[in-house]
Amino acid sequence: MSRIPQNTWSDPETVISCDATLVGCGGWHYSGQYFREVFPVEIQKLNLHISALELLTLVVTVKLWVHTFKNKRIQVFSDNMATVICVNTGKARDPFMSHCLRKLVYVLALHEAEIKVRHIDTKANTIPDLLSRWSNSPEVYSRWVKLTKGQKTRRKRIKRSHFIKFFNW
């Protein structure tokens, strides 16, 4: 049975991290894979608060790499405390965040995976922070190159449908 774990565990088999801004998002898989995208216009028009966008980004991140999570424990790092609390408790008061949480549980159940989200300080969430801000500043690229020097990285593209199909169920 898959679930959001109610017990504590300390040996995740996969580690990912993600971040969002009001206009874009990014995610990092510790294998060196990453994504960075500007939110589609349909998402931007919803005028969601940052916590909702952070949770949406977490769901999209999990959906992107879920094929690698079968029967695994996934450790996610997020700098948004509302996202951490929502996922770890399995509860949300915000309707959009509740929808995100249901989608996350469904995806995890299909792949018999468990998730635990840990809060990380924004300054320590450097790679996803750069990825989410990629379109905001020309200096982000040079910081990215410096930070990932010597690492084998590979960009994964997110289809617009990852965000839009999110609402169709």
The three-point CA angle 55-58-64 to 5° equals 145
Write the DSSP assignment of 96-160 as a string of letters: HHHHHHHHHHHHHHHTT-EEEEEE--GGG-HHHHHHHTTTT-THHHHHHHHHTTTS--EEPPPPH
Percent above pLDDT 90 for the chain? 57
Q: What is the pLDDT of residue 98?
A: 93
pLDDT band at residue 139 using 50, 70 and 90 as cut-offs: confident
User: What's the pLDDT score for residue 125?
Assistant: 85
Report the alpha-carbon distance of residue 107 to residue 113 in Å, rounded: 9
Query: What is the model's pTM?
Result: 0.89
Q: 35 is written with which tokens? A: 């994504």
Average pLDDT, the chain: 87
Residue 52 confidence (pLDDT): 96
- The predicted pLDDT at position 166 comes to 60
Mean pLDDT confidence for 114-139: 88
**Alpha carbon distance 8, 101 (integer Å):** 19
Give the N- to C-terminal CA distance of the chain in Å, as an integer: 22
Residue-level pLDDT at 104: 93
Tens digits of per-residue pLDDT, 28-78? 998 999 999 999 998 999 999 999 999 999 999 999 998 888 888 899 999
What's the Cα-to-Cα distance from 74 to each of 11, 52, 98, 112, 116, rounded to whole Å? Answer: 9, 21, 20, 11, 6
Amino acid at 16: I
Least confident of 52-56, 103-107, 159-163: 159-163
Reply yes or no on whether the pLDDT at 169 is more than 50. Answer: no
